[in-house]
Amino acid sequence: MPRQETLGQRIRRLRQQRGMSLAKVSGGDFSRAFMNQVELGRSQPSTRVLRVIAGRLGTEVDYLLEGRLPNLDRELALERARVLMARGQARRALTALGEAVEASDWPIRTDARLCQAEVLRALGRAEQADAVLAEERKVIAAHRDSHRLDRLRALERGEAFSIGRGDPDTAMRVHLRLADRAMRAERDYDALEHYRAARVLLEAAVR
């Protein structure tokens, strides 16, 4: 069984992957020698120092400490549920969602809840689905997110939400436009979702 990566090893790996020196990461906030001691596991950085290091390395404090981002498990659960729903396996999709629906962060929680509503409808539990959608409508309205509002309205009508109305090329262009818009608004999660969808459509077209 492989040894678990330590905090210091993780910091060193990220620093080297980014081609950064100890001095570059340290900046004027702490010494190069201290940074070296952290990487060797001989010094324990404070939360403030970890924030500085994470910022310089372009990652999150949670990743430095745990080796994975806190929302990654929820994103994986959501994507697995979406795939299962697309394959017509609603019961398994509901199980797969797991704690994703309990997430507190926008927009992961809302995306998971919209998926949950779709699953509940597929299972004939329309009343529960409607309750979920009513709650998420308020959240989406507060964030003024037209894309998710369109998805919610489709679910309320009992329809499958589709970007591009079934045309892959149109869908790809819409996803790219939404991704660019999300990037300008610094909504990284949304940008990643749309760029990923556009890539899948492009790869499918090539095949």
Going by C-beta distance under 8 Å and a sequence separation of 6 or more, which residues neighbour residue 65? 7, 50
Quote the CA–CA distance of 120 and 14 in Å, as a whole number.
42
Question: For 178-191, what is each residue's pLDDT tens digit?
Answer: 888 888 887 877 88
Short-list 159, 151, 164, 165, CA closest to 198: 164
Largest CA distance in the chain: 63
Angle formed by the axes of helices 90-97 and 108-122, nearest 10°: 150
Q: Is the dihedral of CA 181, 146, 204, 72 positive or negative?
A: positive
- Domain extents in the chain: 7-66, 72-156, 168-206
The CB density around residue 114, as the number of other CB atoms within 10 Å, is: 24
Determine phi and psi for 106, rounding to 5 degrees: -85, 140
Predicted TM-score of the model (pTM):
0.63
The pLDDT of residue 17 is 87
The pLDDT of residue 2 is 47
Fold of 72-156: 1.25.40
The segments of the chain whose pLDDT lies below 50 read 1-2
SS3 165: coil
The pLDDT of residue 183 is 84
CB contact at 8 A, 154 and 137: no
The pLDDT of residue 206 is 63
**7-66 matches 72-156 in fold:** no
Determine phi and psi for 158, rounding to 5 degrees: 75, 25
CATH of the structural domain 7-66, one choice from 1.10.260.40, 3.40.50.2300, 3.10.310.10, 1.10.3720.10: 1.10.260.40
Half-sphere CA count of 203, side-chain side, radius 13 A = 6
